[in-house]
Amino acid sequence: MGHDKRESLPELERLDRSGPDAISSSQEKALRRHIVRLTADFPLHAKLLADIDTADLTLSAISALPTMDKAFLERHADELAPPTEDVVEIAYSSGTTGAALKIPFTDVALKRLEWNEFRALTICGLSAKDTVALTCTMDRCFIAGLAYQMGCRAVGAATIRVGAAPIPSHWKIIRETRPTAIIGVPSFLAKLAESAEGENPADIGVSRLICIGEPLRDADLQPLPLTRKIEKLWNAKAFSTYASTEICSAFCECEAQAGGHLLPELAIVEILDDNSAPLPPGAPGEITITPLGDGAAPLLRFKTGDVSFIVEEPCACGRTTPRLGPILGRKKQLLKHKGTAFYPNAIHAALSALDGVIEHQVAVRRNNLSDNVSVLVALDTGITQEHVEEKLRAALRVGVNVQTLPIDEIRRRVFPNNSRKPIRFVELD
C-alpha cells in the first residue's frame, strides 16, 4: 500500500470528508466564539445581532447573519477600531477600487496574520531552505509586504526585502543572493525577467514564483498565457495567492496549482449571489469571508467584491480542504457592452496571449444601456491594431474600441507613482 500524502498534513487538512464533516463542526465552534467576542467588545455588533439566536448557530444557518462590505467599514470605522492603547500597527488598503481604508492592527492581530502567512506559504512548499526575494513594497502603509515578510520568517526562510527598487537594483541583488523564490505581481515578474542583462533568469535557481495581485488561471483552472510566460522565463512554478487587507487573511495554491487551499481554522468562505444567497460549489459569485480566531478582524460575512468559486473535490496534494478558484473579476467591474456581459479579466487574458502587446489598460465610461469600452495598448513592431481588435472580438464575442498609445504613456497610466501593482482597469467620469 502506497504512502498516504495526507499523513504529514495538519489535521484539518486531511480529514476524511466522506462522513460527518468535522471541518464544519470545528468552524461552527470557532464562529460562535467569534460572535461572543464581537458582541462583548463591540456595541455595534451587539446591536446588529440582538434579534438573532447565535448560541447554537450552524454553518447551514449562517445566512441569518448580516453581511458587511467596504461601505459598511467606511461608515463604522470608529466603532470597529480597537482601543488606541492596543494598536501597534496602522495600515491602509491599496485603494485601487475605491477610497483607501485605515486598518488598525493589535499585537494579537499581527500574530494571527503571521500564522496565516506561515500556513499559506507552507502549503506552496516554502521552507527554511529557501531564500525569498520580496518585490512587494514595505512602505506606503500597505500590509502586504509586512505580512509576507513575517510569514517567510515564520517558515524560517531568509528574506530579501528588495521592495519597490528600480529593476537594475533588483538584478544586482538577485545576482548576489540567488533567491530560490520570488514574491511579486505576475506582470512585474515578467517585466523583471525580460529586463535581465547578461543573465538568463532561468539559470538563477528560482523554483517558486509566489504571485499576488493578478490571477494566474482561468475558470477551468488552466494557466493563463502570462502564467506560462513567467514560468518559462524563470524556469519555475507559479503559485497563485488570494488576500485582502480588510479580512487579514490569505490563501495559497499547493504544488498541484489548482486553486488556493482554504484555511478552515482562520476563515469561513462563502460564495454569494446578487441577493446574498449562498451558491453551490463550482458556481461563480462574490467571495464572502468571516475571519476566525484570536485577533480576527471584527467582521461577519464580509463581501469582498471579488468573483470566484469553490472547488470541493479533494486535491492531488492529499488535502481535503476546499479550494478557492481564480478571481474571475470584480463584481462592480462587470461590463455590459453591446448586449454582451464580460469581466475585464477576459480582455487581460486575451491580450496576454499576444506577444506583440507590450502593455495595456481598459478604460470604461458607464452607460445604462451599453458601457463604452476602450482598450488602450502599446504595441511592438510586427503586430497591428487590427490584429488586436480581431483577437479581442474572438475572445469576447463582441467588438471593442482599441487605441494605440506610446509605451511610456501606457506605463504611466498602469503604474501611477511607480506603483508595483498595475492599474489595468479604470472608470472614466
pLDDT digits (tens, 9 = 90+) for 68-121: 999 999 999 999 999 999 999 998 886 655 567 889 999 999 999 999 999 999
Same domain, 171 and 220: yes
Where does a domain end: 312, 330, 348? 330
Question: How far, in whole angstroms, is CA 96 from its chain's centroid?
Answer: 13
pLDDT digits (tens, 9 = 90+) for 241-277: 999 888 888 999 999 999 999 999 999 999 999 999 9
pLDDT digits (tens, 9 = 90+) for 274-306: 999 999 999 999 999 999 999 999 999 999 999
> What is the number of domains present in the chain?
2
Same domain, 187 and 323: yes
Q: How many CB atoms lie within 10 A of CB 360?
A: 24
C-alpha cell at 304: 469582498
| Burial class for 256, CB neighbours closer than 10 Å (0-12, 13-18, 19+) | middle
Computed over every residue of the chain, the mean pLDDT equals 90
| Distant-in-sequence, close-in-space partners of 2: CB < 8 Å, separation ≥ 6 | none
Same domain, 314 and 340: no
Q: What is the CATH number of the domain that holds 182?
A: 3.40.50.12780
Same domain, 81 and 181: yes
Report helix angle 225-234 to 344-352, nearest 10. Answer: 40
Structural domain range at position 347: 334-428
Same domain, 286 and 403: no
The reported pTM is 0.88
Q: What is the CATH number of the domain that holds 369?
A: 3.30.300.30
Rounded distance between C-alpha atoms, residue 70 and residue 51, angstroms: 24
Rounded distance between C-alpha atoms, residue 217 and residue 256, angstroms: 13
Same domain, 339 and 247: no
Q: Across 13-122, where does the E strand assignment appear?
A: 87-92, 102-106
Same domain, 187 and 95: yes
